[in-house]
Amino acid sequence: MEAATSTVDISSLSPWLAAPPRSQTPLRGELEADVAVVGAGFSGLSSALSLRREGLRVAVLDSQIAGYGASGRNAGHLTPTIGKDLPSLSRMYGRARVRGLLELAEVAISHVEGAIEKHAIDCDYEPVGNLIAAVHPKQHDVIDRTAQVATEFGIPGELLDRSALVARGIPATFTRGYLEPHGGILDPGKYLRGLRRAALEAGAQLFENSPVTGISDGPPAVVETAGGRVRCQHVVIATNAYTPQLSRLDSVAVRIQVQLFRTAPLRPEQLERIDWRGREGIYTAHELLESFRLTSDQRILGGSKFIRAGFGKGILADTDPRVCRRLETVFRQRFPELADVPVEQHWGGPIYMSLDFLPRVGRSGARGNILHAIAYAGHGIAQASYAGEMVTDLLLERDGPGSALQSRWRIPVPPEPLRWLAFQGLTRYFEAVDRRVDRALTARGDR
C-alpha cells in the first residue's frame, strides 16, 4: 500500500511534519467496509483503533496524509482543559454536567497515556503537567478561581504563589499559577505517527491523498472520492476545522486560525537564565491565552493569543506576517532574559470552536448513521484522541464518559455575515480585556 509522496509539501507545514512517512495509496475503485472514517488526525485514527477493537472493518480516508491538519501542527500540551476554562465551565453548567465533563477530560488524558504505552509510541512525552499562569496581579483572581473550582470538584492541582513558582524554577515572568499535574508535553508529530502505525497494525485500511467529495446516507452509506467509493453502514466525520468543506454540520463551530513559533535551541547558559527545571507546559490566564513550553531539543515553542477567522468558507493563509511579528514581541516581553535567542520558525493551523467551547460528538443524517467528533476548541490532543471511544460508544449505543457531551443545549453558529461579526465582536472584547493586563505590565516597566 505504500505509494508516492503527497501532492502538498507536508514537511514545510510544521516542524513536527518535517519527516513525514511515505503516504498510503489513494482509494481506487469500490470498497466495502463497516465504517468509513473521513480524516486521519487524532480523531480519525483513534476512531479507527477503537472500531477495529470491536472487530469492525474500517476504511480511513484523508485528503492529504495523516496529521496534515491540526494534529500535526499543534503545540503539544496534553491538558485536561475542557471548554474555555474552569471558572467559565462552572458558571455555564450545573454541578452534575461539570462533574461529567471534568471526568471526561481526565479520562481522555489517561487514554492518551495508555495509548502511548500500549502502542510503544516514542513521542518525547514528559508527564510534567501544565501551569495556568498569570503575568500580572490583575490575573491572580482568575488563577484563584480556577484553583477554587478545581478543589470544589476534587480535581488534583496546586495553587502556586510567586515564591512557590520560584522554588519550582518557573521563569520569572509568571507571578502566580495553578498547576494541573495530569498531562504534560509531547511531540504531536511522533504521537500522530505512532497512532497511524497502530491503526494500520490493527487492520484499518488507510487511504491518503483521497479527498472525500461526497457522503450519502444510504443505505448503504457511500463515501465518494475522485478515484473510488466506500460503501458502508456508518460514516465518522473526523475532519474538525475542515468540516465545512464537506457541506455538513455547517452551524456547529467556527474555523479559527492559530499560529505558533519556535526559537533556536537554547544553549545551556541560556537555559540556565530562565531555569524552568520542571519543564511544565505553560499557558497564560489571558482570555486569548499565550502558550509556552520547552521542546526535547531545548527550544521554546509558543504562540496562540492572536487568532483569525475568515469569512464564510474562505480559508486563510496558515501564517500572517503581522501575527508573526506580534508573537515575537510577546515572546521578547515574557522572556527578556533570552534577547539573544532567535525565533527560527513560525507556522499555523486551524482549530474548530463551537460557541460553548465544548466538543461536538454526535449523529446526523437522515438515518442517524453519520457520526461526527469535531470542535475541540484547541484542546484536542486529549479529547480528539478519546474521540474514537466516544464515537464507538455512540455507534454501539453504549453509555460512557462521552455521554457528558450529549443532550445539552447547543448554541448554533449563525450564518454569514453574523458569524463573522460575532467572531470580530468576541475577539475584540477578549483582546481589550487582555490589553488591560499587558498595558499594566508595560506601564509598570516590568516587561
Ligand X SMILES: Cc1cc2nc3c(=O)[nH]c(=O)nc-3n(C[C@H](O)[C@H](O)[C@H](O)COP(=O)(O)OP(=O)(O)OC[C@H]3O[C@@H](n4cnc5c(N)ncnc54)[C@H](O)[C@@H]3O)c2cc1C
| Contact residues: ligand X, CB under 6 A | 38-44, 61-64, 68-71, 73-77, 79, 211-212, 238-242, 245-246, 258, 260, 348-351, 376, 378-382, 384
Pick 38 or 404: Cβ nearer ligand X:
38
Pick 232 or 382: Cβ nearer ligand X:
382
Minimum CB separation from ligand X for residue 226, in Å? 11
Minimum CB separation from ligand X for residue 225, in Å? 7
Instruction: Report the largest interatomic distance among the alpha carbons of the chain, rounded to a whole angstrom.
Output: 67
Distance CA 433, CA 435 (A): 6
Nearest to 389 by CA among 148, 110, 154: 110
From residue 256, give the alpha-carbon distance in Å to each of 240, 324, 341.
Answer: 11, 16, 29
Minimum CB separation from ligand X for residue 382, in Å? 6
Nearest to 102 by CA among 145, 152, 43, 45: 152
Q: Is 129 helix (H, G, I), strand (E, B) or coil?
A: coil
Minimum CB separation from ligand X for residue 79, in Å? 6
Neighbours of 315 (CB within 10 A): 14
Q: Give the three cell numbers for residue 65.
A: 496524509
Distance CA 162, CA 175 (A): 5
Whether residue 45 contacts residue 199, with contact meaning beta carbons closer than 8 Å, is answered with yes
Distance CA 136, CA 296 (A): 29
Q: Give the three cell numbers for residue 26.
A: 489513494
Pick 142 or 307: Cβ nearer ligand X:
307
Pick 273 or 326: Cβ nearer ligand X:
326
For ligand X, the nearest residue by Cβ is 380
Pick 41 or 83: Cβ nearer ligand X:
41
Pick 221 or 384: Cβ nearer ligand X:
384
Q: CA 432 from chain center: how many Å?
A: 25
Whether residue 246 contacts residue 239, with contact meaning beta carbons closer than 8 Å, is answered with yes
Minimum CB separation from ligand X for residue 44, in Å? 6
Q: Are strands 281-284 and 221-225 parallel, antiparallel or unpaired?
A: unpaired
Distance CA 198, CA 292 (A): 30
Q: Give the three cell numbers for residue 13.
A: 507545514
Pick 171 or 378: Cβ nearer ligand X:
378
Minimum CB separation from ligand X for residue 327, in Å? 11
Minimum CB separation from ligand X for residue 437, in Å? 21
Minimum CB separation from ligand X for residue 171, in Å? 18
Pick 246 or 441: Cβ nearer ligand X:
246
